[in-house]
Structure formats: structure tokens, C-alpha cells
Homo-oligomer: A and B are copies of this chain.
């Protein structure tokens, strides 16, 4: 099978899905298949993938090499295994913008000082922040509603991790609900670090109403609010606007915002930090 230059992952995906005439799977289709298989089975054999997808072993090996580079899989001799907790629905969002998120996380981790109290909202980007904090931070307290974040932070024994109560969201891996909100409102924190589904001129929004409510509570409760979002979130619109830019002290992203978003940030006095990657 044949593939073009691949200018951008999104573009490739679109072009591929358009032309799935009778022949075999496209490259991105194979990658998705591999990831989804990995959510079910902890390990895969490259040879089995090759026969299952009807391509040569060499092609699968190259696929695995790419996915490993994106940190979406863990390479083994003869196959692949899942890298860490690979929550089904988080995969699609995690797979994109890995490098951007790592850069953003590095900046955020440098902002955090020892002995601070943080609130960390659930999400893919904040999860990267947590991993970075686990590697760098010292003697901080983190309040979170995300299991993956708590587990990632646990690698650093100098971090005190406080978990919120609530109903456990099976697919997203965090707790939510009125108890969660009430719990957040009982804490005082130096900073809240939250993600978003989209950020735009009208504020910060999230596709999940429950997650948005929790983000909003964290933002209101902390002395300083930081939003982390890669440029893919710019001008995205989703269900709930959970905070206005006037409430946000800093936006850490990977590309300079423009247009309505930039205007809103300027008017609200939100500091914009662009991480280099």
C-alpha cells in the first residue's frame, strides 16, 4: 500500500479515511488498531499483528518504532506492551501533542516551588504535568481527583497526595460529583493547575460537564490559577464554559495565541507562557 508525505497527523488521518477502497489498512488505521489491541491485551506479538493486519512484519516493526517514539507503546523483543495505565478513552487524546505537552509540563514544573499546595485537575495534559512534578518537585502537597495523576505522583515520596471523594468515572479514571466539589471547597491551595477541552475568547470550556465543574471549583479556590493547553485547544468550543480569563492568572501553552483568544487574554491580564519544544 501507498502513503503520501504526511504533513500533519490530522491531515493524514483525513486523507486516509477517505480512501479506504478495498485494499488493506492505512498506516494510521494500523496504529489505532495496535493501540486498541493494547488496551485489551497487555502485550502483543509483532508477527501476529502482521498476519492480522495483512502486512509484512517489517511494516509492523516500523509502526511499532513510531508508536514507541510517541510513547504510546512500550517496545519489547518481538512485540509491544502498554507503557503505563492506558485508559481506553484517554488514548485518543493522549496520542496527540505528546511533545507539546511535555514542553508545557516542563514549564509548569519549574513554576512550582517547594512546600506549595497544588490542585491538579484530571486530564491528559495535567497528567503529563504530574509525571514531571514526580520527577522534579520537592515537598509539595497535591490535591487531585484523578487516579492516574495520584499514581504518577506516588513515585515521589516527598509529595503529599490528597485525593478527592466522589463517584469514579470508569472510562476517564477520575472521581466527580457534588462530593468532589465540596471537598475541593474545603481546601486552600497556592495554585490550581487545570486543563481544558477548548480555550477561546469567551473563556475556558470542557466537553465534560462534571470535569468542568471541578476545574471551575479548583480555579476559584486556589490563590493562583494556571491553565495548561496545547495549541490544538485554541478556539475549540465545548459544552461548558467553566471559567473566565479574568479568573486565570497564567496560561501555559506551546504556541502564541492569536485573534479573539489573544485579545481576551490581554484584556483579562492573563500571563501567557509559551513553552518551547
Tell me the smallest distance from the CB of A74 to a CB of chain B, in Å.
Answer: 5
Which residues of A166-189 have CB atoms within 8 Å of chain B's CB atoms?
Answer: 166-168, 170-171, 173, 175, 179, 183
Among A83, A168, A179: residue with most chain B CB under 10 A: A168
> Which residues of B are found within 8 Å of A85, using beta-carbon distances?
85, 151
A161 touches B150 (CB 8 A): no
A162 touches B166 (CB 8 A): yes
Q: What is the oligomeric copy number?
A: 2
A262 to B84, CA, bound (A): 44
> Which residues of B are found within 8 Å of A155, using beta-carbon distances?
170
Which residues of A17-63 have CB atoms within 8 Å of chain B's CB atoms?
Answer: 42-43, 45
> Which residues of B are found within 8 Å of A165, using beta-carbon distances?
162-165, 179, 183
| Pairs across A and B, CB under 8 Å, 22 listed | A42-B74, A43-B43, A43-B74, A43-B75, A74-B81, A76-B77, A85-B85, A85-B151, A147-B147, A147-B150, A154-B171, A155-B170, A157-B170, A160-B167, A162-B166, A162-B167, A163-B165, A163-B166, A163-B168, A163-B175, A164-B165, A165-B183
> Which residues of B are found within 8 Å of A179, using beta-carbon distances?
165, 183
Query: Which residues from chain A sit less than 8 Å from chain B, CB to CB?
Result: 42-43, 45, 74-79, 81-85, 147, 150-151, 153-155, 157, 160-168, 170-171, 173, 175, 179, 183
Partner of A76, one of B78, B161, B163: B78
